[in-house]
A and B are shown apart, each in its own frame.
Chain A
C-alpha cells in the first residue's frame, strides 16, 4: 500500500476509463485481461478497520471463503455490554475481497455454541436470497454454496434469518468488495468502516448487559449509532492513522438496520466518491455522502495537513449523543497555506461603536419623580437588561461576568459605572479581587433608564447606595466615551 500521488491519479484515470469500457460492454471483463478461471485460493479475511491486500491477479480464480458465525458478549460502550451476533467474532463482520469474475465457494460455519441458526445474504450475489436460501445453518453446522462475482463494486452482506431485523440489529453485517478486473487505483491506506445502530432496552450509557429492544427497533429509535460495532471503536487512540500527503480510501458500509447515514469527515473533502459503492458514477469534491441502510460507498481523499479528522454521521445528534464518531489521526508537517490554524483571537465590536439598539424599549414616560420611584423602575430595567449577565442577585458569573453585588469596582467610581452602561466596557478589569476580561456592549438605553438601573443596583446587595440622576447620565453622555486604556489600567 505504498504508491505515489501520481500513480494514484493515473490509476484513477485508468479506473474511469475502465468504468466507461465496462459500462459499454455490460459484464465484459473491464480490463481486457483473461477471464478464464484459474487456480484456487483461500480468501484473506480481516476485521475492521483493516482491509485485505489489493488483488494483483490478472485473471479470475476460485476463492474459498470460510466465515464463522459467533454469538459473543462484547463491549458496546464503556460499562455497557451486548450479546452480538457476528460474522467472525466482531462487528462489523470480516471484510471479504474478491475479484470480478471470481468463483466464490462460500462456507458458512455456525459455531456450536450459537443459540440461533444463521444464514448470509450477500448483495454481491445474483440469485434468490443472495445466498440466504442456500446457507441457513443450524448451530454446530456448516453450509456451502457457490456464486460467481459478476458485478464489481462494494456490497453489504448480512444475516437474513427470521426475524431478519433482529439478526441485523445484533450486528450481523459486513462488506464484500468485488474488485474490478483492472483493480482500484492504488492508494496509501485503505480502511474498513461500517455504521450500524443498536436498540438496547436501557438508554444510552445505561450500564450492564443490555438486551435487544424490539419496541425501539420497530420504531427505528436506536440509542446507539456507532462505527465498527461500539462507541469509540475507531475513536481517540483507536483512531485510524494517516500521514500528511497520503491518500486514504475508506470502504464505508451501513448495516442499518434502519437508519441512512450522512457520512461526513470533518476537516476533509472527499476527492472521489464511488457513488453507492458502484463503479459507474465517480463523484468528485463531495462533503457528505449518503450511505443507505444495506448499502455502501467508497470515498478517497488526500490528507493535506496534520491533526484529527472526525468521521461522523452528519445527522449530528447521532454523532453527539449516540456514538457515531471516529477519528483519523494525521501526523506530519503543518502546511499553513492549506490551513493556517488560528491566527488571531480579538474582541469583535461591530461598526458604529457596538451599540445594541434596544428596539423593544418601553414607551417614553415621564422621568421618575424621586429615588424610590427610580429604584422601582430600575428594578424592571435590571431584570430585563442586566440580569442576563450579572444575574438576578448581582452575583455575576465567575470568570465571565463581574459581580455587581458588593462590587468594589462599581462602588469606587460612579461616573465610570455610568460610562460603562452608556458606552460599554471592554478589556481586563479586576472586581473584588477577580480578573475579568470580557465585553460589555453599549446598551443604547435612555438617560432615565440608565439612571434608574444604576440607582437600583447601588441600592441593592450591600452596595454604596449612590443616587444616579438622569442629569448626571446626560452629562457623561455629552462627554463621550472614555479612552479604553483608562478603564483597562484599573
Chain B
C-alpha cells in the first residue's frame, strides 16, 4: 500500500519520468484513464438544499427531488503527491515556490518543501501534496487535461464507504469520519493509500487530507436567491444549521465549513487535491 518513498536525488530526468507514470497504484484503476477510476452516474443528498414542505410525505418527496444527480466521470484514484507536483514545477517554473505570483498563492505555498525543487523531510514523495492554492491545483490539472472535481462530484464520491455507495446515514461510517476530522494532521503526512477507500475504488477521500473543489466558494447556493441571501455563507453558530438537510452529518458540516473558510489563493497544510475529467456536469 506504500508508494516507494526512497526517491533518489531530485533530477529533472527522474521527475520527468515520474510525470509519465500514471499514478502510484495503477492496478486498481479500471475502465477510465490511467490512474483514474470511472465513477458511475448517480445521485447524492447535498447537505444544503431548498426548504421542504412541512408534512412528512411531501418532505420525503422533496428530499428525493433534492438529491442531486451526478453524471459519470473519471476521478484520480489518489490525491496528487509531492513527487507528482514536483515534476509539474520542474516543467512549469512559474509555479515554483519562489516564482509563483502572490496573487495566486499565499505565503504558505509549498511551505513544507525544502526548496523550489527539493522536497525535504516534511514532504515525502509519496505523500499528498498540500500547501497548494486553488489556482496552483488547477494549473497542475489543466496541464494534464483534467480539472478539480465540483463539490457535487466530490461529495457524491465522499458519501460512499468501502461497501456502500450512499453511507451518508451510516452512523459507524460517520463516526469514523468525525474521529478523523477531530484529529490534527500528522507531520509529515503519510503516503497516499493510507486513508479510507470507497466502493468505487477511489481512495483517500477521507482520512488523509482535505481536498480542493472547483466551486468550493459556492457552498450555500441553494438555487433560491432569497434563501441564499438569508443564509449566512460563513456558517456560524445556529445559522449553520438553517437549511441543512441532515443535522447529524457532522462530517459534512465540517467540510462545508472548511470550504467556506477558504479563498482561492490560500495554501493550507492539510489541504490537497485530485483531478477529474470526462464528467458530464451535474443537474
Residues of A within 8 A of B (CB): 71-73, 83, 112-117, 119, 121, 129, 132-133, 136-141, 160-164, 166, 170, 211-212, 214-215, 218
Contact = CB atoms under 8 A, between A and B. Distances in A.
Given A113-B185, A115-B181, A116-B258, A214 B248 contact: yes
Nearest to B184: A71
A119 B236 CA distance: 8
Given A138-B261, A166-B250, 13 more contacts: A73-B184, A114-B270, A115-B181, A115-B270, A116-B181, A116-B254, A116-B257, A121-B236, A121-B237, A132-B237, A162-B240, A212-B179, A214-B178
B262 interface: yes
A117 B269 CA distance: 12
Interface of B: 106, 108, 171, 174-175, 178-179, 181-185, 187, 232, 234-238, 240-241, 248, 250, 253-254, 256-258, 260-263, 266-271
Contacts of A116: 181, 254, 257-258
20 contacts: A73-B184, A113-B269, A115-B182, A115-B184, A117-B258, A132-B234, A132-B237, A136-B234, A138-B266, A140-B267, A141-B261, A141-B268, A162-B235, A162-B253, A163-B240, A166-B178, A166-B254, A212-B179, A214-B174, A215-B171
Contact of B236 (A136, A170, A212): A136
A71 B270 CA distance: 13
A96 to B, nearest CB: 19
Contacts of A112: 108, 268-269
Contacts of A161: 235-236, 240, 257, 261
- Which 8 A-B residue pairs are closest in the complex by CB-CB distance? A162-B240, A117-B261, A132-B236, A160-B237, A160-B236, A138-B261, A162-B235, A163-B253
Contact of A133 (B183, B236, B253): B236
A214 B267 CA distance: 30
Nearest to B235: A162
Contacts of A73: 184
A220 B242 CA distance: 21
Chain B CB within 10 A, most for which of A72, A114, A116: A116
Contacts of A71: 184
A12 B271 CA distance: 54
A447 B87 CA distance: 104
A83 B182 contact: yes
Contacts of B250: 163, 166, 214
B184 A133 contact: no
Nearest to B251: A163
A5 to B, nearest CB: 43
Contacts of A139: 268-271
Contact of B238 (A114, A164, A211): A164
A139 B267 CA distance: 9
Nearest to A162: B240
Nearest to A212: B182
A351 B262 CA distance: 79
B184 A83 contact: yes
Given A140-B268, A211-B178, A113 B187 contact: yes
Contacts of A137: 261
Contacts of B181: 115-116
A112 B241 CA distance: 27
Nearest to B250: A163
Contact of A117 (B171, B175, B260): B260
Nearest to B174: A214
Contact of A211 (B179, B234, B236, B248): B179
Contacts of B235: 136, 161-162
